[in-house]
Amino acid sequence: MAATLDTTQEAARLWSDPATRARIVGMHARGDSLLEMVSALGLDDTLDSDGLRGVIEGLSAAEVQVIRDAFVSEAASNTADGAHFPIDCRVDDVGQGVAISAVAGAAGPVARIEPAATTQT
């Protein structure tokens, strides 16, 4: 089982708040960079301790779009239980690099993050 990174846990906690969720969707709509969003949400320290800054900087435009689509779709489907965090992170060692793909979730796409070596092309 993959380790849970502090950044992912903290982002999921922030996502659970409807006001913060709306703020995140707004940032995606404006096209803010993911690093700008992390900073605006106060997650710089966990991002750096998890070693994710370089990983995020290295994402392709298509991978960033997968993440944006997952968050916007999940927020739009906001059920009475609240929106689920639309990330499925399966990474133990971010130093190996990551690959991001869209997979079907209950309410729409989920961004699956896997080690680059295990992703099928």
Global pTM? 0.84
Give the largest Cα separation in the chain, rounded.
38
pLDDT(23) > 90: yes
pLDDT at 80: 57
Residue 8 burial by Cβ neighbours in a 10 Å radius (0-12, 13-18, 19+): buried
pLDDT at 50: 85
> Across the chain, how many H-helices and E-strands are there?
6, 3
CA distance 115 to 98: 4
Task: Return the domain boundaries, the chain.
Answer: 6-118
pLDDT(79) > 80: no
Q: Average pLDDT of 65-82?
A: 82
pLDDT at 118: 53
pLDDT at 119: 46
**Please, which pLDDT band fits residue 5 given cuts at 50, 70 and 90?**
confident
pLDDT(2) > 80: no
Task: List, as one string, the DSSP characters of 57-94.
Answer: HT--HHHHHHHHHHHHHHHHT--TT-PPP-EEE--S-G
- Better-predicted residue by pLDDT, 40 or 85: 40
Q: Average pLDDT of 12-39?
A: 93
